[in-house]
C-alpha cells in the first residue's frame, strides 16, 4: 500500500496548491454554481411554481374569481369563501370586471349543476399565470364540491371528501418483515428525504472520484510530456510520487465538489434548509459505507488513471487508455433505472461483486436500503483485496512507463514488469 512519507505530503501539497490556482480549475469550479444560479433565475421567471415569487411579480393583480350561479347552490358565500370569490348575477357584469382586471377569471355554474351539468370558466386572452393559478387551484374545486354536496351529505363526510382532495396519502413504509419502518408521517418524509440525500451523496462522491481521477490523469500525462519525471524520481520513489498525487488531487476533487455543494445550498436557499433537515435523517450506516466505497473506489480509480497517464505517449493516448476504466465505472449508472425498480436484481448484485464496478454499484444501491449483507461483505472484501494489488501493480508500471518517452509499453512489457516486480 502507499507508504506515507514527508515527501508524500510535500508532493500532495504541491499538487493541490499548483492545480487549485489553475484557470481551468477555477473556471470549472465556478461554472457549475453559475449555471445553477442562471437555472434558478430562469425557473423563477418561467417555472410558475413559486407562488410567493409570482405574488411579488403580479402584485396588484387580483386572484379573485367571479361566480355566476344559475344553480342556486351558491346563493350565499361563507366569510372564508368571500375572500376569494365574488358573486355576480349576470355574465355581462362579471365579464366587465374581468376585462377591467378586477377578476382573475369567472365561472358560470349551470342550472343543471346538481344533476350533471359542468361549470364553464372564462379568463382574459392575456390573463396569464395569475388567471390560470386562480382557476386551476384546489380552492376553487373545493368550493364547487362543497356547494354541490352541502345539501346531499353530512358535514363529517363532506370534510372527509375535502381532506382526501387536499392531503397526501402518507404511505407507511414496511421493512422485509412487514413491520413499519417509520412511525409517523414526519418519519416517512425523513426517510424519503434521506433516500434523496443518500443518493445525492453517492452521486457527488462518484463525481468527486472522477473529477480527481481526471486531474491525476492530466497531471501525470503533463509531467511525462514535460520530461520532469526523471528529475522528480531522483528525489522520491515512484510510490511516493503516486501517493502524493493521489492524495493531493483527491483533495482537489473534494474541494471542487464541496464548492458545488455549498453553492447549491446557498443558491437554493429553502431547498438547502430542506436538505439540512433531511441530513439529520440520513442513515449513519449508509453514510459510513458510502464513505468506505468512496475511499476504496478513489484509491483504485485514482491509481488506474495515474497509471494510464504514465502509459500514454501523449495526453490523448493516455485519455484513450483511461477511457476503458471510465467505462467500467459508468456501467452501474447505465442500469440506474433498473436499480430503482429493484435494487437487488441479479445484474446489480453481480456488478456489486466485481471490484471495478463495485464502488459505483454499491453507492447507487445503498440509498435504497435493505441490501443483502453478503453483497456488502463480498464487495468490501473484494475491494480491500483488489485495491492494494492495483496500487502495487500500478506503482510498478508507473515507475517503468514514466521513463519511456515516445514509446508506449506493450502488454507483454507490462506483464514482464509486473512479474519482475
Partner 1 sequence: MPAALVINHLTKSFANVAAVQDVSFEVERGAIFGLLGPNGAGKTTTIRMIMDILKPDSGQIQILDHAPGLGREKIGYLPEERGLYRGLRVLDTLVYFGELKGLTTARARARALDLLKRVELDDRARAKVQELSRGMQQKLQLAATIIHQPDLVILDEPFQGLDPVNVDLIRRLIRELRDEGKTIILSAHEMHLVETLCERIALINRGRIVLNGDLAAIKRQFSPNALEVAPLIGVGGRPGVAKAEPVLNGDGRPRGERITLEAGVTPQVFLKQLVDEGAPLERFEIASVPLDEIFVRVVTGKA
Binding site for partner 1 (CB under 8 A): 6-7, 10-11, 14, 18, 22, 223, 226-237, 399, 403, 405, 413, 416, 420
Among residues 157 and 227, whose Cβ is nearest to partner 1?
A: 227
To the nearest whole angstrom, how small is the minimum distance from the Cβ of residue 245 to partner 1? 13
SS3 86: strand
CA dihedral defined by 262, 263, 264, 267, rounded to 10 degrees?
130
Among residues 69 and 223, whose Cβ is nearest to partner 1?
A: 223
Report angle CA 288, 364, 255 to the nearest 5 degrees. Answer: 60
To the nearest whole angstrom, how small is the minimum distance from the Cβ of residue 402 to partner 1? 9
To the nearest whole angstrom, how small is the minimum distance from the Cβ of residue 397 to partner 1? 14
Specify whether the CB–CB gap between 15 and 252 falls below 8 A. yes
To the nearest whole angstrom, how small is the minimum distance from the Cβ of residue 416 to partner 1? 8
Among residues 148 and 409, whose Cβ is nearest to partner 1?
A: 409
Specify whether the CB–CB gap between 106 and 69 falls below 8 A. no
Q: How many CB atoms lie within 10 A of CB 358?
A: 24
For residue 257, give the nearest of 315, 215, 299 by alpha carbon: 215
Among residues 240 and 375, whose Cβ is nearest to partner 1?
A: 240
Among residues 1 and 18, whose Cβ is nearest to partner 1?
A: 18
**DSSP assigned state of 114:** G
Run of H or E including 69:
strand 65-69
- CA separation for the pair 180, 188 (Å, rounded): 10
Among residues 345 and 405, whose Cβ is nearest to partner 1?
A: 405
To the nearest whole angstrom, how small is the minimum distance from the Cβ of residue 36 to partner 1? 29
**DSSP assigned state of 113:** G
For residue 299, give the nearest of 379, 390, 214, 360 by alpha carbon: 390
To the nearest whole angstrom, how small is the minimum distance from the Cβ of residue 406 to partner 1? 10
Amino acid at each position: 500500500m502507499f507508504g506515507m512519507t514527508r515527501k508524500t505530503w510535500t508532493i500532495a501539497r504541491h499538487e493541490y496548491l499548483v492545480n487549485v490556482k489553475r484557470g481551468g480549475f477555477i473556471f470549472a469550479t465556478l461554472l457549475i454554481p453559475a449555471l445553477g444560479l442562471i437555472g434558478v433565475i430562469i425557473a423563477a421567471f418561467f417555472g410558475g411554481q413559486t407562488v410567493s415569487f409570482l405574488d411579488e411579480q403580479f402584485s396588484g393583480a387580483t386572484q379573485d374569481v367571479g361566480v355566476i350561479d344559475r344553480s342556486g347552490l351558491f346563493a350565499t358565500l361563507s366569510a372564508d369563501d368571500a375572500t376569494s370569490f365574488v358573486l355576480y348575477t349576470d355574465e355581462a357584469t362579471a365579464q366587465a370586471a374581468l376585462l377591467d382586471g378586477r377578476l382573475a377569471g369567472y365561472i358560470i355554474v349551470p342550472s343543471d349543476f346538481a344533476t350533471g351539468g359542468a361549470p364553464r370558466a372564462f379568463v382574459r386572452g392575456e390573463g396569464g399565470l395569475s388567471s390560470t393559478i386562480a382557476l386551476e387551484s384546489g380552492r376553487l374545486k373545493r368550493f364547487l364540491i362543497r356547494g354541490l354536496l352541502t345539501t346531499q351529505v353530512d358535514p363529517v363526510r363532506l370534510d372527509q371528501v375535502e381532506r382526501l382532495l387536499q392531503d397526501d396519502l402518507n404511505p407507511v413504509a414496511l421493512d422485509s418483515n412487514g413491520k413499519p419502518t417509520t412511525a409517523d408521517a414526519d418519519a416517512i418524509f425523513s426517510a424519503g428525504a434521506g433516500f434523496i440525500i443518500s443518493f445525492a451523496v453517492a452521486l457527488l462522491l462518484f463525481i468527486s472520484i472522477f473529477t480527481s481521477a481526471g486531474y491525476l490523469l492530466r497531471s501525470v500525462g503533463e509531467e511525462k510530456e514535460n520530461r520532469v519525471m526523471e528529475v522528480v524520481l531522483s528525489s522520491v520513489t515512484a510510490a511516493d510520487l503516486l501517493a502524493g498525487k493521489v492524495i493531493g488531487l483527491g483533495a482537489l476533487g473534494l474541494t471542487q465538489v464541496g464548492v458545488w455543494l455549498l453553492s447549491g445550498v446557498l443558491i437554493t436557499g429553502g431547498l438547502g434548509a430542506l436538505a439540512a433537515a433531511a441530513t439529520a435523517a440520513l442513515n449513519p450506516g449508509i453514510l459510513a459505507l458510502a464513505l468506505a466505497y468512496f475511499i476504496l473506489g478513489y484509491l483504485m480509480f485514482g491509481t488506474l488513471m495515474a497509471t494510464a497517464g504514465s502509459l500514454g505517449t501523449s495526453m490523448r493516448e493516455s485519455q484513450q487508455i483511461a477511457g476503458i476504466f471510465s467505462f467500467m465505472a459508468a456501467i452501474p449508472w447505465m442500469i440506474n433505472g433498473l436499480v430503482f425498480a429493484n435494487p437487488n436484481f441479479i445484474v446489480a448484485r453481480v456488478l456489486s461483486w466485481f471490484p471495478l464496478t463495485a464502488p459505483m454499484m454499491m453507492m447507487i444501491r445503498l440509498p435504497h436500503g435493505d441490501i443483502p449483507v453478503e453483497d456488502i461483505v463480498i464487495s468490501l472484501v473484494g475491494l480491500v483485496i483488489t485495491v492494494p494489488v492495483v496500487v502495487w501493480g500500478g506503482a510498478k508500471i508507473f515507475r517503468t512507463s514514466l521513463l519511456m518517452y515516445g514509446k508506449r509499453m506493450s502488454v507483454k512489457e507490462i506483464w514482464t514488469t509486473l512479474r519482475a516486480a
